[in-house]
């Protein structure tokens, strides 16, 4: 049966662009009313216009997920506007690109506070509403390949994203009696507003595409479909798990990826 979120309300943090907007669009297309929690009003207005043009009921709420008071306020305002919260997709995040000796405590705290603590805060405040009812809910944390693959010069980001797995498994076990599920969505290389194929050096682009059996980068709509799968209430027996959406990148042995990259580079040079 097709996914159906009619009558349900979904929060998508960072839902005003890239992967977040792809997720908001997919949930809205399945019938959910969408609350976009984000920091940049102009960007949010553009996202809401595109959602509403597609027939999605959506509202934007200013929110920095690293700020406990703002998260609580956004949750209260969302319930005030839509009456309930059924789904929370914690997508908002920042990245760090410093080597170990160049990473200050402030750098480290900034990334952990947004990517890991911010997810905790959003889940906690949304569950306050879900727990008032007996019809369950869904929590989805958007992680990264950096959570499972080595990510040089990105220790803070990798640590935060890896931490989401522990957070979700704990919450999945704790909240199961309330019929609230928690899962991790783990994207691979994905073209978004922050990162595009064009922004990657040519040699790395060749190696990356060659390492993906699907033969391309992911798109925001690929992640949107996966998030919809995790959010749908019929998926009642799927919780505490990581869903990798990377075109097969994580299953490729390094030697095969290197061989494919050399072959592709030779074809491009011919």
At 90 the three-state DSSP class reads strand
Q: What angle do CA 43, 44, 46 make, to 5 degrees?
A: 65
Q: Give the Cα separation of 19 and 29 in Å (integer).
A: 15
Q: Give the Cα separation of 154 and 147 in Å (integer).
A: 10
Please answer whether residues 160 and 102 qualify as being in contact, where contact means their C-beta atoms are separated by less than 8 angstroms: no
Catalytic residue (one of 157, 229, 249, 255): 157
Reported as type and span, the H/E element at residue 10 is: strand 9-13
Does the annotation count 229 as an active-site position? Answer: no
Beta strand pairing status for 87-90 and 58-62?
unpaired
Please answer whether residues 10 and 29 qualify as being in contact, where contact means their C-beta atoms are separated by less than 8 angstroms: no
Q: Please give the positions annotated as active site.
A: 157
């Amino acid at each position: 049966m097709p996914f159906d979120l009619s009558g349900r309300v979904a929060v998508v943090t960072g839902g005003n662009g890239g992967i977040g907007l792809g997720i908001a669009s997919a949930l809205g297309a399945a019938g959910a009313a969408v609350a976009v929690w984000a920091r940049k009003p102009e960007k949010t207005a553009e996202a809401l216009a595109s959602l509403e043009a597609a027939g999605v009921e959506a509202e934007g709420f200013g929110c920095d997920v690293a700020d406990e008071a703002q998260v609580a306020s956004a949750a209260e305002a969302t319930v005030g506007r839509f009456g309930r919260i059924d789904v929370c997709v914690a997508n908002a995040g920042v990245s760090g690109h410093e080597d170990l000796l160049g990473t200050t405590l402030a750098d480290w705290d900034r990334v952990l506070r947004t990517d890991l603590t911010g997810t905790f805060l959003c889940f906690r405040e949304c569950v306050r509403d879900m727990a008032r009812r007996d019809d369950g809910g869904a929590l989805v944390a958007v992680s990264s390949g950096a959570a499972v693959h080595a990510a040089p010069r990105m220790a803070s980001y990798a640590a935060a994203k890896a931490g989401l797995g522990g957070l979700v498994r704990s919450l999945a076990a704790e909240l199961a009696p309330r019929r609230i599920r928690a899962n991790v969505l783990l994207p691979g290389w994905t073209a978004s507003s922050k990162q595009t194929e064009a922004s990657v050096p040519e040699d790395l682009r060749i190696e990356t595409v060659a390492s993906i059996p699907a033969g391309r980068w992911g798109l925001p709509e690929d992640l949107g479909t996966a998030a919809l799968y995790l959010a749908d209430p019929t998926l009642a027996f799927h919780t505490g798990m990581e869903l990798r959406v990377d075109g097969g990148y994580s299953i490729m042995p390094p030697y095969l990826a290197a061989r494919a990259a050399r072959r592709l580079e030779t074809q491009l040079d011919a």
